[in-house]
Amino acid sequence: MQLIAQIAFFIVLVAGIAFFTFNIRRVIRNIKLGRKIDRSDNPGERFAKMAKVAMGQSKMVKKPFAGFLHIIVYLGFIIINIEVLEIIIDGVFGTHRILSFLGAGYNFLIATFEILALLVLVGVIIFWLRRNVTNIYRFIGNELKGWPKNDANYILYFEMVLMILFLTMNGADYQLQLNGADHYAQNAGIAGSFPISQFLLPWFEGFSNATLIIIESTAWWLHIVGILIFLNYLYYSKHLHILLAFPNVYLSKLKPLGEFDNVEAVTNEVKLMMDPDADPYAMPAEGAEDDVPEKFGASDVMDLNQVQLLNAYTCTECGRCTAECPANQTGKKLSPRKIMMDTRDRLEEVGNIINEKGSFEDDGKQLLDNYILREELWACTTCNACVEACPIGIDPLSIILDMRRYLVMEQSAAPSDLANAMTNIENNGAPWPYNQMDRLNWAKEN
């Protein structure tokens, strides 16, 4: 019986990890559909930023209450995972609390896990209330209706249930140890310290050891299987940020936020245009006729770069960007969070076509118009509030800019007033129709 349990555990564990790996490889494949971008510069500065922003949660606490709760859940998640290590060893080898030889240190660890589990449980309940009961602007956006709202709640339920199972398991275990039950009781006395689950003991009073063992092992199994299900749920949810936040911050932009990237293809064209020695009748270089002319800007996810696509998978839809967006606050359609969600959803759609057909085939859809509307793109003031607000270095503005580039350079589809301003710049060097020769008139006026 014990051996069967060990084998079953091993199979569940391997299957859970294998399926997760399978899906993560798809995420990586999809991200690689994007254009290459070099972010290998300044590794030291990048690592320091990752340590501060991702590991240190420095931007989370800009909203102190939500940030504090998030740090509790984050620390709880990381630290309680040490216990998962023991659970896995116990599961595979059929042992019971294998690390208990650590003695006082073990008691301290278990006590810490228990206290964190309770704090996480409380934190997650507050998160649920914030999402479902209170009226917080960033949790009631249009783009959250339907699946995204459910998704967020499922994640919270998962975490609540896991914490309750963990504490139930410990409580039943403690009672069994007190009862001196076989396999549970140890010669050295009680293994572990149970500052929280000890309060569950009155509920277990009068239960036979057999019943307690069923409760304990059921909680144990549901807990570890639950963790594996949760792990696999990540891919289907917005929750991948718990893994991707770290590389995402590492790869985020280090330059001043106001510095927008340079389009090198355009630089080359402009240089050629300005070069008095350029031969306008020159033959194209050997093989150049096979080159596909580069598309300017982005109309679909493949036109975006790999960091932008990583951004899309990393976004956990917290909406801090949208809450800070001047366009969104004044009722415009633009929501930076929706830009990220649309990019991810379209990328998943493209990925699914590749899953089915082996390679991408045009499905008559694209990111522009089918997901992101022009009205959204033209509402942006490029103020960088969204970029500044993101706790994990996502840059929705860069996607908006790339899509504007497509609209303007590939389609000449700027709003007419803006097109006029650009014509003015082209003709007279100012966005208004004033003659360049009048540029110094102000100095002569009173």
Partner 1 sequence: MAEVIKVPTMAEYMAQGKKPEVLFWVGCSGSFDDRAKKITKAFVKLLHEAKVDFAVLGTEESCTGDPAKRAGNEFLFQMQAATNIEVLNGYEIKKVVTACPHCFNTLKNEYPVLGGNYEVMHHTTFLKSLLEEGRLKVEGGKFKGKRITFHDPCYLGRANNVYEAPRDLLRKLEVELVEMRKCKSNGLCCGAGGGQMFKEPEPGNKDVNIERTEQAMEVKPEIIAAGCPFCNTMMTDGVKGKNQEDKIEVMDVAEMIANAHDL
| Beta carbon nearer to partner 1, 14 or 272 | 272
Q: What is the DSSP letter of 295?
A: P
Strand partners, 35: 305
Q: Is 331 helix (H, G, I), strand (E, B) or coil?
A: coil
One residue of 3, 288, 292, 437 binding partner 1 per CB under 8 A: 437
Interface with partner 1 by CB under 8 A: which range of 42-50, 150-158, 216-224, 420-428?
Answer: 420-428
- Cβ closest to partner 1, residue 259 vs residue 279: 259
182 or 259: CB nearest partner 1? 259
Cβ of residue 122: shortest distance to partner 1, in angstroms? 29
Q: Is 142 in the site for partner 1 (CB under 8 A)?
A: no
What part of residues 157-176 is at the interface with partner 1 (CB under 8 A)?
A: none
**Pairwise CA distance, residues 337 & 104, whole Å:** 47
Judged by beta carbon, residue 45 or residue 375, the one nearer partner 1 is: 375
Selected from 40, 187, 330, 359, the binder of partner 1 by CB under 8 A is 330
104: which residues sit within 8 A by CB, 6+ positions away? none
Position among 83, 90, 114, 324 found at the interface with partner 1 (CB under 8 A): 324
Q: Which is nearer to partner 1, 246 or 260 (CB)?
A: 260
Q: Which two tokens stand for residue 376?
A: 């959204």
Decide if residue 405 touches partner 1 (CB under 8 A).
Answer: yes
Q: How far apart are CA 115 and CA 167, in angstroms?
A: 10
Place of tokens 């289907």: 236
Give the x/- contact pattern for partner 1 in 56-75, rule: CB under 8 A.
Answer: ------x-------------
How far apart (Å, rounded) are the C-alpha atoms in residues 384 and 56? 22
What 8-state DSSP symbol labels residue 305? B
Stretch that binds partner 1, among 217-225, 229-237, 259-267, 302-310 (CB under 8 A): 259-267
Cα of first residue to Cα of last residue in the chain, in angstroms, is 98
Task: Name which position in 227, 327, 347, 350 contacts partner 1 (CB under 8 A).
Answer: 327
- Under the binding rule (CB under 8 A), the answer on residue 429 touching partner 1 is yes
Contact 245, 51 (CB under 8 A): no
Check residue 153 for interaction with partner 1 (CB under 8 A): no
Helix pair angle (2-31, 64-93), 10° resolution: 130
Q: Is 42 in the site for partner 1 (CB under 8 A)?
A: no
In sequence order, what are the residues at sequence separation of 6 or more whose Cβ sits closer than 8 angstroms to the Cβ of residue 231? 16, 17, 20
Span near partner 1 by CB under 8 A; candidates 183-191, 242-250, 299-307, 402-410: 402-410
Which amino acid type is present at position 212? L
Distance between CA 51 and CA 37 in Å, rounded?
22
Instruction: Establish if 274 lies at the interface with partner 1 (CB under 8 A).
Output: yes
**182 lines the binding site for partner 1 (CB under 8 A):** no
Question: Under rule CB under 8 A, which residues in 277-316 are in contact with partner 1?
Answer: 296-297
- 418 lies in the binding site for partner 1 (CB under 8 A): yes
Q: Write out the E strands in 218-336.
A: none
CA-to-CA separations, 365 to 87, 262, 361, in angstroms, rounded: 47, 28, 10
Which residue in 64, 276, 331, 364 binds partner 1 (CB under 8 A)? Answer: 331
Nearer to partner 1, 210 or 274 (CB): 274
Residue 427 binds to partner 1 (criterion: CB under 8 A): no
Binding residue for partner 1 (CB under 8 A) from 270, 278, 355, 369? 270
Give, as ranges, the residues between 99 and 138 that touch partner 1 (CB under 8 A): none
| Beta bridge mates, 429 | none
Interface with partner 1 (CB under 8 A), residue from 13, 125, 257, 354:
257
Q: Is 355 or 381 the residue whose CB approaches partner 1 more closely?
A: 381
Q: Does residue 443 belong to the site contacting partner 1 (CB under 8 A)?
A: yes
Considering the rule CB under 8 A, would residue 425 count as an interface residue with partner 1? yes
Per CB under 8 A, the segment of 109-117, 138-146, 175-183, 327-335 that binds partner 1 is 327-335
Burial of 428 (0-12, 13-18, 19+ CB in 10 A): middle
Tokens of 46: 């990048």
Query: Three-class SS of residue 180?
Result: coil
Report the number of secondary-structure helices (H) and strands (E) in the chain.
Answer: 18, 0
Question: Exposed, middle or buried by CB within 10 Å (0-12, 13-18, 19+), for 398?
Answer: buried
Least distance from C-beta 184 to partner 1, angstroms?
A: 54
Distance, in Å, from the CA atom of 446 to the CA atom of 444, rounded to the nearest integer, reads 7
Residue 305 main-chain phi, psi, to 5 deg: -90, 170
Binding mask 357-396 for partner 1 (x = CB under 8 A): ------------------x--xxxxxxxx-xxx-------
Compute the distance between CA of residue 312 and CA of residue 207 in angstroms, rounded to an integer: 51
